Amino acid sequence: MNKIRVVLCFIALLAFGILSEPAVKADDNSQKVLLVYDSKDHIHQGEQRIDSLQRILTGMNLKVKTEKASDYKKGELQKGYAGVITLINWDKAGLMNPSFEKDREEYDGIKLHIGEGITPQELQQLDAKVDKIYQKQLTLMVDENSQQLPFSQTMEPLVDIPKNAQVIGKLITQEKNQDEYNYGVINGKNGYLPFFEAKSLSLLSATKLITQLFKNNQTFKPLLTFTGVSPYTDMEILDELSAYCEKMDIPFAISTVSVAKNTEMQAFNRFAISLRRIEDRNGLIFLNAPVIGGATKDTGTELSGLFDGYLLNLARQGVYPVGISTPGFWNQDQILRQNSLKKANTWMLLPNSTAKMVDLNVDSNSSVAKKSYYAVNASSIDTIKNRAELKFNIPTAVTIAMPNSSVKLRNVKEQIRKLDLNWENPSQIEFESRINFASSKLSYKLGQYFVNESPVEINVNSKDKNIINAPSTKNKVLLKGFFHVQGRIITVIFVVIFIVLIVFIFIGRKIYRNKFKR
């Protein structure tokens, strides 16, 4: 009966899909921000900071144009930008663009400077002075949270700031007579951060400053998310992990890839059963983008069809993803963005992996979704003290890699327990997701799944557990051991031949020597 229901839902998916929109439309009224950087500074993770800022701004529903300072053209800032962010990754590189510095000085929108090298004009607009700290071990204190920062060679915090300026965090030295400096500062439309790391309390503090600077004062609970799931994952471990989350009353999500072929095999059926059990346990599924290699600008249609195939195959098995997860660079590439992310109104943007990045048509013009989660590794949160008081100012997914052994599973359970965070429960908030594909639509609202606007149930039964735990069937090998024995026989023959040859050589040498003795 359950299989019949799944088939009927799939037929409805195809039959009535024509009523749905062909694509999810982004919010065309979203404001746009210009992000200007001096250098990517590969040695000191400059690209990670750029990627992190892009994903933060996307999480705030702000479109981003990212540009190297040397590429800036005079007058660009007058093209309707709500703000400009200057990121200094390597002060020695310099902005090297007088047109940008002049336009920025005259610009009357929101301005944020991150890193060293703040100019006298920026200081004047902030109505502050800059100090310089040399070779200090500092602790960052924000609200009730604190974290010791890596040893710093130099840092330039603001001093003598106006009384009405807003301060985000304090930098405290580790010396006996502790000195205290301002971390983030906001004065009107101008903001400043002396440094930025794409992790830990620095990340959360920078996010807080940016959201307040852009008058986006919201707080969110984090979404626990397990990444790296695939049809090749150990399904017993995945099932035990989801059961643990249900037992501990922890809502969660997974980011999983799928396959376009061999979906009729038993392995894919076990994978689908595991995903349905996750949905039944109040878990959400994000379809993760595949690693693509050898792609070109002409493969956009093929990529779109690939995603449609993934979604159709999953829906046919009664599995309904709520969003799409990709590395951040997919939102910076016009072809990747249009043929994947644009299908959904809910995204999860993961950190970039340099080894897996491709360039099909990078335009550095990121788009927005109704809701975009910023993915941050749970290990980055572990080092923050008083985590129970943590506040997240944008939708955030705290990610943990899918464990692949029983030992790692125990470690993950312990890590979740120690995180002690107040997790987001999408089934109890105004969370409305939608994915449009192949003229069909999947949606989710308040714990209910819909296929083309019709509610569907997640079908699980007692036999599913047995299928997941069933050992993989092994094909019987008819000539098992035959080639192994044959190999031994051949080895023996060669050894015998080798010995005989040595004997013949010895005898021949003796006969040859005796010939000359006569």
Tens digit of each residue's pLDDT (9 = 90 or more) over 100-138: 999 999 999 999 999 999 999 999 999 999 999 888 889
Confidence of residue 483 (pLDDT cuts 50, 70, 90): very low
| Residue 175: per-residue pLDDT | 77
* Tens-digit pLDDT profile for residues 51-65: 999 999 999 999 999
| Residue 11: per-residue pLDDT | 43
- What mean pLDDT do residues 93-98 have? 86
Confidence of residue 92 (pLDDT cuts 50, 70, 90): confident
Contact between residue 104 and residue 140 where contact means Cβ atoms under 8 Å apart: no
Return all residues near 110 (Cβ < 8 A) that are at least 6 apart. Answer: 82, 83, 84, 189, 190, 191, 213, 214
* Tens-digit pLDDT profile for residues 318-333: 999 999 999 999 999 9
| Residue 16: per-residue pLDDT | 40
| Residue 102: per-residue pLDDT | 96
* Tens-digit pLDDT profile for residues 235-266: 999 999 999 999 999 999 999 999 988 888 89
Contact between residue 375 and residue 391 where contact means Cβ atoms under 8 Å apart: no
Contact between residue 242 and residue 269 where contact means Cβ atoms under 8 Å apart: no
Using CA atoms, how far apart are residues 242 and 262, in angstroms rounded to an integer? 25
| Residue 204: per-residue pLDDT | 95
Q: Which of 67-76, 219-228, 287-296 has the lowest mean pLDDT?
A: 287-296
Confidence of residue 518 (pLDDT cuts 50, 70, 90): low
Q: Which of 197-211, 412-426, 457-471 has the lowest mean pLDDT?
A: 457-471
Structure tokens, 351: 């950190």
Q: Regarding predicted confidence, which is higher, 501 or 328?
A: 328
Q: What CATH number is given for 2-16+220-469 in this structure? A: 3.20.20.370
Confidence of residue 475 (pLDDT cuts 50, 70, 90): very low
Residue 34 backbone phi and psi in degrees, to 5 = -100, 120
Using CA atoms, how far apart are residues 205 and 212, in angstroms rounded to an integer? 11
CB-count burial class (<10 Å; 0-12, 13-18, 19+) for 142 = buried
Please state which architecture CATH assigns to domain 32-213. Answer: 3-Layer(aba) Sandwich (3.40)
- What mean pLDDT do residues 93-97 have? 84
| Residue 371: per-residue pLDDT | 97
Q: With 70 as the cut, is the pLDDT of residue 466 above it?
A: no
Q: For the whole model, what pTM was predicted?
A: 0.85
Q: Which DSSP letter does residue 336 get? A: H
Q: With 50 as the cut, is the pLDDT of residue 32 above it?
A: yes
| Residue 423: per-residue pLDDT | 95
Using CA atoms, how far apart are residues 471 and 211, in angstroms rounded to an integer? 51
- What mean pLDDT do residues 21-33 have? 64
| Residue 478: per-residue pLDDT | 38
Contact between residue 180 and residue 354 where contact means Cβ atoms under 8 Å apart: no
- The rounded mean pLDDT for the chain is 87
| Residue 25: per-residue pLDDT | 54
Q: Which DSSP letter does residue 184 get? A: E
* Tens-digit pLDDT profile for residues 420-462: 899 999 998 889 999 999 888 999 999 999 999 999 999 888 6
Confidence of residue 517 (pLDDT cuts 50, 70, 90): low
Confidence of residue 355 (pLDDT cuts 50, 70, 90): low
| Residue 474: per-residue pLDDT | 41
